[in-house]
Amino acid sequence: MPKPKRGNPQGKKSARGSLRQELLQLQVTSKVGLVKGVRGTGRAADSQASDDEDVASEALSHYSSTSDTASVAEEGTGSEPVDEQTLQEEREDKLKECIDNVTDKSAKTRQTALESLRLTLSARILYDFLVERRLTLTDGLERCMKKGKGEEQSLAASVLTLLCLQMGSGPEGEEVFRSLKPLLISILTDTSASPVARQSCASALAMCCYLVAADVEDLSTCLTCLEGIFTSSYANSASPAVVQHNPQLQLLHCSALHAWSLLLTICPNSQVEKILLNHLPKLPGMLSSENVNLRIVAGETIALLFELARELEEDFFYEDTDLLCAKLKALATDSNKYRAKLDRRKQRSIFRDVLHFIENSECHEETIKFGLECMYVDSWVRRRTYTAFKEVLGSGVRHHLQNNELLRDILELGPPLVLDAAAIKANKITRVEKHMYNSAAFKARTKARSKVRDKRADIM
């Protein structure tokens, strides 16, 4: 019986063709097997296959878009870097788009635009850009505060504060504040409004009044409005105990008291005397509140009032000083376990400073460094002012301390310094020097602690 022939004895061309057919047949067979396997494994395999296809399509689109972007960049700029003017124009275009989106129909788009404006205004100084568009932005903020809810109103109030900080104490900033002050008061006093929006409006009302209000009547109106919020936490004659509200109202009262204390720093002496008579006897009662933030703000406000009173009268005497110091000492040494450890630590630190000031008239000094400069916070008035700007500006406070003329004038820092790049580089330490300094400090600290921890050391 003849053996079967293997392969094709005719030429190489037909051999290559048969090999190609076999490869194609194998690929088809493998694909059919995969399809059968997918059909046999059920829904899980279907979802896995679709996921793989989605990932692949996303990867392809990513690579294609990346290559397109790279090719455009190479064609447009080549090896030359983008100049500062082009970047500035791009930033301004984005800001214009955000200002336009503040009046968009979509609430989500408006909130995104407000958040972008808040971050940009806190990080940079844009007076020249904003002064031409302040009316447009003011109208947009007004619409957000009237038609928006909760978070949108809160963001609009924050952007308003930053806008007044950018405009300064001139007629432009005062115009912006006067147009939106009634709306801020309306939201703040509306019990049906969102607590988050009311808190932001309390802070914005005080900050804008502090920055741009030139009339004493505006100051009195804002003080009265804020007093109407937090005084409901005072103890009344019928019940000597402090009135305890729900957590949201406690946060609102905390914000209102904090904002009110900022306006105390610019009150005339005649108004300070009235405030001392009306509020100093009642504020110590808030030290018994169950909210740690409200207790801390009340303690800081008491210290601020004592400082203002001693500036008016050097030998100022408060009748219940002994009782007040006893309360402050109890809070400065509080170790109750039902309170959070972080709250106890923060409370003890603040009330130690408050107690020390009331007993000895000495304020804890703090040094704030920014760039090549430093600022000393050595009074409760200065401390309250710096804290207010820090809360509004966040991480951008150092940039504004260096470059914002209004802020530097308020904090008595003088005109902004003009430094060239060589001077900045000469005063900046290298990473190696910083690492060596930290290592030396760590060794010295370890040696000092080891001596104290040694049981044989004599501790006086």
439-460 tens-digit pLDDT: 888 888 888 777 666 554 444 4
pLDDT (0 to 100) of residue 357: 94
Distance, CA of 374 to CA of 393 (rounded, Å):
18
**All residues at 6 or more sequence positions from 308 whose CB lies less than 8 Å from its CB, including other chains:** 264, 267, 272, 276, 381
Q: Is the pTM of this model over 0.75?
A: no
Burial of 53 (0-12, 13-18, 19+ CB in 10 A): exposed
- Backbone φ and ψ for 438, nearest 5 degrees, come out as -65, -35
For 150-194, what is each residue's pLDDT tens digit? 899 999 999 999 999 999 888 888 899 999 999 999 999 999 999
Q: How far is CA 204 from CA 39, 100, 165, 245, 397, in A?
A: 63, 23, 11, 23, 17
72-86, 105-119, 277-291, range with the lowest pLDDT: 72-86
Neighbours of 63 (CB within 10 A): 10
75-99: average pLDDT:
72
* Residue 266 CB neighbours (<10 A): 15
371 vs 272 pLDDT, higher one: 272
CA–CA separation, 449 vs 460, rounded Å? 15
pLDDT in tens, 35-81: 344 344 444 444 444 444 443 444 334 333 333 333 333 334 444 45
Structure-derived torsion over alpha carbons of residues 363, 364, 367, 368, reported in degrees to the nearest 10: -80
Rg of the chain, C-alpha, whole Å: 33
pLDDT at 233: 80
What is the C-alpha separation between 107 and 49, in angstroms, rounded?
37
The answer to whether residue 227 scores a pLDDT higher than 90 is: yes
Rounded to 5 degrees, φ, ψ at 376 are -100, 125
Centre a 10 Å sphere on the Cβ of residue 429 and count the other Cβ atoms it contains.
10
Q: Which pLDDT belongs to residue 288?
A: 86
| Confidence band, pLDDT 50/70/90 cuts, at residue 237 | low
Q: Looking at the domain 87-214, which fold is it?
A: Leucine-rich Repeat Variant (1.25.10)
